[in-house]
């Protein structure tokens, strides 16, 4: 009864397979409805909503862009979905068999509206990961560092990539990144690796600094052997750890 009466969380992005999410399971437990079903007072969760979820005559009347609180608020084939790029919970429809109309994009079988589709455009742009002025560019000129990005939004400005919720420098290889950074595959908001790479702070610089301190206390012969092993500072972090065996260090 718990699974049958649970409220699905993040239906669009939660990776649901046969009403089960790899992140949320069956969803948020609805204790009131589960008890009603277990005692035989109802067999359909929609017919015995908890008092806090009862939308009365407004149930099933809201459509795309309408602000909602639960799935029951939305019309048939719609779900109540949090869209960070809009900053609110709105009803979104299933895509169906036809192409998405202008102003919407398809994500995992649902049509997600853009800010201008929902009439949410404002005059100025803020550093919030949203296209506030609806010009097709997110946060232009509004962020000094650490711009936000969302899975349902337009992403980051040119030259940047979305790492979970933040924009960072995009790259193809380590040489594209500043010193102390390496080019790595980025994770999405759920911690899964995608195909996009970004510049991530590397620990190799710290390894080299630590080795330098240790090397300053040894004789010239030992120091030269260590320098040769480190290949004039070009050794990666794992090689640096191996070279430290030449120094008077106990691990």
Where does the pLDDT of residue 136 fall: very low under 50, low under 70, confident under 90, or very high at 90 and above? confident
Identify whether residues 227 and 195 lie together within a single domain. no
Identify whether residues 172 and 217 lie together within a single domain. no
Is residue 34 one of the residues assigned to a domain?
Answer: yes
Least confident of 3-7, 65-69, 98-102, 222-226: 222-226
pLDDT digits (tens, 9 = 90+) for 71-120: 999 999 999 999 999 999 999 999 988 889 999 999 999 999 999 999 99
Better-predicted residue by pLDDT, 101 or 239: 101
pLDDT at 250: 54
Identify whether residues 191 and 210 lie together within a single domain. no
The residue among 113, 148, 182 that closes a domain is 113
Is residue 137 one of the residues assigned to a domain?
Answer: no
Identify whether residues 190 and 228 lie together within a single domain. no
Where does the pLDDT of residue 216 fall: very low under 50, low under 70, confident under 90, or very high at 90 and above? low
**Contact between residue 217 and residue 227 where contact means Cβ atoms under 8 Å apart:** no
Identify whether residues 220 and 184 lie together within a single domain. no
Identify whether residues 181 and 88 lie together within a single domain. no
Q: Which among 1, 3, 8 is positioned nearest to 71, based on CA atoms?
A: 8
Identify whether residues 94 and 36 lie together within a single domain. yes
Q: Which residues contact 15 (CB under 8 A, 6 or more apart)?
A: 21, 22, 23, 108, 190
DSSP string, 75-92: PTTEEEEEETTTTEEEEE
Is residue 84 one of the residues assigned to a domain?
Answer: yes
Is residue 122 one of the residues assigned to a domain?
Answer: no
Identify whether residues 7 and 105 lie together within a single domain. yes
pLDDT at residue 32 is higher than 70: yes
pLDDT at 87: 92
The pTM of this model reads 0.70
Identify whether residues 10 and 107 lie together within a single domain. yes
Q: Which residue has the tokens 């919407």?
A: 104
pLDDT at residue 66 is higher than 70: yes
Number of neighbours of residue 159 by Cβ within 10 angstroms: 9
pLDDT at residue 21 is higher than 80: yes
Identify whether residues 60 and 98 lie together within a single domain. yes
Provide the number of structural domains found in the chain: 3
Is residue 142 one of the residues assigned to a domain?
Answer: no
Least confident of 4-13, 51-60, 79-88: 51-60
Least confident of 38-42, 96-100, 153-157: 153-157
Identify whether residues 21 and 106 lie together within a single domain. yes
Domain range enclosing 220:
204-246
Cα separation, 13 vs 57, in Å, equals 29
pLDDT at 25: 92
pLDDT at residue 57 is higher than 70: yes
pLDDT at 35: 93
């Amino acid at each position: 009864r718990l699974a049958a009466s649970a409220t699905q969380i993040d239906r669009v992005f939660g990776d649901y397979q046969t009403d089960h999410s790899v992140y949320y399971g069956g969803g948020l437990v609805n204790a009131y409805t589960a008890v009603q079903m277990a005692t035989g007072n109802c067999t359909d969760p929609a017919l015995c909503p908890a008092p806090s979820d009862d939308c009365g005559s407004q149930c099933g009347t809201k459509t795309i862009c309408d602000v909602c609180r639960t799935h029951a608020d939305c019309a048939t084939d719609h779900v109540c979905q949090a869209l960070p790029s809009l900053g609110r919970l709105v009803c979104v429809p299933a895509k169906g068999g036809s192409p998405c109309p202008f102003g919407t994009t398809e994500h995992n079988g649902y049509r997600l509206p853009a800010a201008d589709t929902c009439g949410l455009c404002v005059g100025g742009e803020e550093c919030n990961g949203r296209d506030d002025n609806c010009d097709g560019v997110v946060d232009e000129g509004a962020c000094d560092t650490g711009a936000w990005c969302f899975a349902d939004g337009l992403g980051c400005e040119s030259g940047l990539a979305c790492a979970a919720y933040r924009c960072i420098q995009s790259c193809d290889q380590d040489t594209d990144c500043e010193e102390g950074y390496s080019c790595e595959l980025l994770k999405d908001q759920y911690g899964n690796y995608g195909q996009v790479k970004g510049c991530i702070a590397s620990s190799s610089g710290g390894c080299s600094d630590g080795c330098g301190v240790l090397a300053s206390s040894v004789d010239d012969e030992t120091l030269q052997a260590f320098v040769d092993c480190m290949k004039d500072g070009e050794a990666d972090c794992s090689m640096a750890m191996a070279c430290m065996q030449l120094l008077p260090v106990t691990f």
